Amino acid sequence: MNTEEQSAPLADAAASSGQRTHPAAWLWLSLVVIVLDQSTKFLVTRFFELYERVEVLPVLDFTLLHNTGAAFSLLAGASGWQRWFFIALAGVVSVLLVAWIWRTPRGDKLLPLALSLILGGAVGNVIDRVVHGYVVDFIHAHWGAAYFPAFNIADSAITIGAVLLILDAFREKR
């Protein structure tokens, strides 16, 4: 076999590695978010009592809280119907996000990244609602006596994903 014949498979391999990845390959990120979210919630519920507060930084506490509502505890005081409503809503949104990711053009990175983060966060929180009937929140940021609503890794992924989605929309306009 001469040198040209030996280098042909290497050239083919290099060409195939340059192909654009299918956006569904980003779904691994959703899985990472779900695993990180559920792992941190497991640890917090294992080692903290409800409402127990541990200062991490002067502006950040870990406090175990149960949120039966939506973002910022919206509808937390409802009679229980909101649990099933949020589970159904997250299920529909998750299916739509997977379809959107699947249809994203090959080579696009920002949009599937954003959608995968949102998907992982949505699934992480819906697992809590199915298993516990509430979402486990524990990250509690504050400035002095002014406290931001508690959140978790899933909420962080959803927020970052939403910001990236907005950035992608602005990028598309140009």
Residue from 107, 128, 109 nearest 117 by CA: 109
Residue from 60, 89, 59 nearest 74 by CA: 89
> Can you name the residues that pair with 139 across neighbouring β-strands?
62, 151
CB of 44 closer than 8 Å to CB of 138: yes
Phi (first) and psi of residue 63, to 5 degrees: -140, 120
As annotated, the active-site residues are 137, 155
DSSP code string of 47-97: H--TT-EEEEETTEEEEEEEE-SSGGGTTTTS-SHHHHHHHHHHHHHHHHH
CB of 112 closer than 8 Å to CB of 23: yes
110 contact partners, CB below 8 Å, separation of at least 6 = 164, 167, 168, 171
